[in-house]
Amino acid sequence: MPGAHSLCNGRQRAIETRSRKFVEPRQPRRRKCDGRITLSCSAIICPSGGWQSVTGVHLIMFATIYLPNFYLQAATRHQPELRAKPVGLIEEQQRKPMIIQLNEPAQNAGIRKGMTPSQALARCLSVVIKARAYTQEKSIQEILLHYAFSFSPFVEATAPGICTVQFTDNRNLSEKVSRVIERLLECEIAAQAAIAPTPDTSFLAAHLARPLLQIENAKDFLAALPIETLAIIGTQVSGSSSV
């Protein structure tokens, strides 16, 4: 893919966004159009809770792309040798640094979020403690948005490592999103994503995708989710946003 190498290595200049529409995280910008509340004068809120085009031709679909353990991925992105080792991430600027994210080998070793580095080492002497890499976090976020804009001009920077896309063309959505997941993996970025009729449903489903999940009926999907699953996702989201 032309230019992909420089993009993946974070050397591409900052992405130009002046001609693209961003909305505030979790607060889609809405305005009136012909007496109805719309999104960019192209969609109306349906009574069922979904979005439908003004012409009624097709349902508008959304995709959420989610980078699990975003901060940890940024800190270890160019160190593939650490993937099989227990790794815990700390925020060095905290008064009392604690583990804020960790990988699966660290979890299997008994390490948990909220532990201090010394407590983590007491559980596993081979654990690698990493500090957040702010430059890499910014680079990965830019790469994520770059590929999100390849779908549509309507992209929401939902949270660090998460973006939501409103599609303008519903054809071959699974194939399109799968290609982006593959492109991100080529950039040493693990991603998972979900496609759904509402942004909130795609957001929840993205946390469960392995790596892609497409939801046709939001109501049926949400009704089948255990309360425990929703609680776990809520904890993950609040933990990431508070870092």
- 172-198 pLDDT per residue, tens: 999 999 999 999 999 999 999 999 999
Pick the closest to residue 162 from 58, 88, 48, 73 (CA basis): 73
The CATH number given to 78-132 is 3.40.1170.60
Confidence of residue 240 (pLDDT cuts 50, 70, 90): low
CB within 8 A of 50, min separation 6: which ones?
59, 60, 197, 198, 218
- 112-165 pLDDT per residue, tens: 999 999 999 999 999 999 999 999 999 999 999 999 999 999 999 999 999 999
pLDDT above 80 for 78: yes
Higher pLDDT, 196 or 29: 196
**Helices 173-186 and 134-148, axial angle in degrees (round to 10):** 150
Q: Which CATH code, of 3.40.50.360, 3.30.70.270, 1.10.8.350, 3.90.1150.10, is assigned to 4-14+22-69+135-241?
A: 3.30.70.270
- Tell me if 4-14+22-69+135-241 shares its fold with 78-132: no
Mean pLDDT, the chain, as a whole number? 81
Write down the pLDDT at residue 178. 97
- 83-118 pLDDT per residue, tens: 999 999 999 999 999 999 999 999 999 999 999 999
CB within 8 A of 85, min separation 6: which ones?
105, 126, 127, 128
Spans of all domains in the chain: 4-14+22-69+135-241, 78-132
In Å, how far from its chain's centre is CA 16?
A: 20
